Amino acid sequence: MTYYDSLTNLYNLNGFLVDLPQRAIQLRKKYPVIAIAVISIDDFKRINSISGYIGGNLVLQKLADQLSQFIEKEEGIGRYFGDEFILLLKEESLEKLEERIKLLWEQCSTEMIINDQEYRLKISIGVAITNSSLIKVEEIVNQANIAKVQAKKQGGNRYQYYDINVNEVIKMEQKIENALYHAITKNELYLVFQPIVNLKTNSIIGSEALIRWNNKQFSKVSPLKIIEVAEQSGMIVDIGKWVLSEALKQNKRWHDLGYNNMFVSVNISAIQFEQPNFLDMLKAILEETAMAPQFLELEVTETNAMTMVEEKLEKMSKLKEMGIRIAIDDFGTGYSSLAYFTRFPINTLKIDRSFVNEIYKDENAKTIITTIINMAKTINIATTAEGVETIEQVKFLEEQGCDKIQGYLISRPVNPNQIEELLLREAK
């Protein structure tokens, strides 16, 4: 139990690390190149959610068998953590190692049938190489793990070799992650809001809630980086819940001030959206904040919507039954089939700012915007153009029949008091 994994009958991490130094010494005597490879299943949580932990365990057992057949007699194998495995490999040259790692990735990225359910495994592999006895094998293990993290950051389903420059990036992200872990309890996170204007009435009808971080050391960290680190660490679930709660509380305050048609739009991470208790969590927050569901709009990116489509359709249908509005964010930047969007119970398509910026520079951008707006009208979906900065852009969008706009022309993302000033000025 101390040194072996009961599920796969391989070394566990303790056993692998105890055996590793002596095995590495023996391999160095015979081979010029040795390497550590960390193998991780991408999106293993999805497998567990579909087939339960029994199905997930069967996948791990089958992959363990494949890896055991892949390695040679003098090499080493162990179960690393959860859905990850670790290998000690040897080769006669870097070129041959490259060929072998590619073969490893191809053999792992295979189809499996578990309990009549077919899976196409997507695998990320991190590799660290050494041809020197001066580097401790424990450090090589750490480097391989860093390379694996980088492979996942690049979208997963690939293999990545350790790079010292990547190491510095990972270290900085770890510092950001550690600080972000305490951000909610230290009241360092806050929201700003960007107004959304109805083009027909030229009035503010809602706002998009955006997260900001007040931290002395990381004050210049972009919101996108905050979200990226939060997603990688799993903190996005707690942070996303906080954002929803704070956004709805603020919208309730505006309603109490008499702006009772204002809605608030909140971006939802793919990880957050896929949580089994997502709907229950939303119901609880709506009850706690006493905010009517029709004044909440959830923004889901096009890329997010197009993964696990049937599951997303089911969850979106339940959200619509609750009265919550759904917007597809960054629309037009993905590779989705437009046919799917006739099935999605969505209220709004948000036209990406990259097209709006190019309205008077690129005829293709004009064509794409016009097509999106016309398509949305046909299926009775509203459109919101993001990143509007000029009067000329507004005129074009009005001519095409766009419903709503947001961007610096109206206002940058600002604190709630400034939104109220804009609403008061509008009332005059």
Reading the block at residue 176, the tokens are 């950001």
* pLDDT surpasses 90 at 392: yes
Strand partners, 297: 265, 325
What gap in Å lies between CA 28 and CA 135, rounded to an integer?
12
Mean pLDDT, range 352-367, rounded to an integer: 89
DSSP 413: S
Taking only the tens place, the pLDDT of each residue in 179-223 is 998 898 899 999 999 999 999 999 999 999 999 999 988 878 888
- Could you read off the pLDDT of 97-122 as tens digits, one per residue? 999 999 999 998 887 777 777 777 88
- The pLDDT-based confidence of 253 (bands split at 50, 70, 90) is very high
Distance, CA of 389 to CA of 407 (rounded, Å): 6
How many angstroms separate the CA atoms of 387 and 393, rounded? 10
Return the axis-axis angle of helices 309-322 and 278-289, rounded to nearest 10°: 20
Q: Give the number of residues written for the chain.
A: 428
For 3-56, write each residue's pLDDT tens digit. Answer: 899 999 999 988 998 888 888 888 888 888 899 999 999 878 777 766 777 888
Q: How far apart are CA 85 and CA 64, in angstroms?
A: 8
The stretch 124-141 carries a mean pLDDT of 79
Direct distance between the N- and C-terminal alpha carbons of the chain, in angstroms, rounded to an integer: 74
The residue that leads in pLDDT, 240 or 53, is 240
Instruction: Give the CA diameter of the chain.
Output: 84
Residue 258 structure tokens:
């008499």
Domains and CATH numbers, the chain: 13-162 (3.30.70.270), 175-427 (3.20.20.450)
Instruction: Answer yes or no: is pLDDT of 135 > 70.
Output: no
Q: Could you say which DSSP state residue 124 is in?
A: E
Per-residue pLDDT reduced to its tens digit, 287-340 = 999 999 999 999 998 777 777 777 888 899 999 999 999 998 877 665 555 566
Do the Cβ atoms of 269 and 236 come closer than 8 Å? yes
How does the average pLDDT of the chain come out, rounded?
Answer: 88
Q: Report the pLDDT value the prediction gives residue 320, as an integer from 0 to 100.
A: 94
Indicate if the pLDDT at residue 75 is higher than 80: yes
pLDDT, tens digit, 9 for 90 and up, residues 155-181: 889 999 987 766 677 778 888 888 998
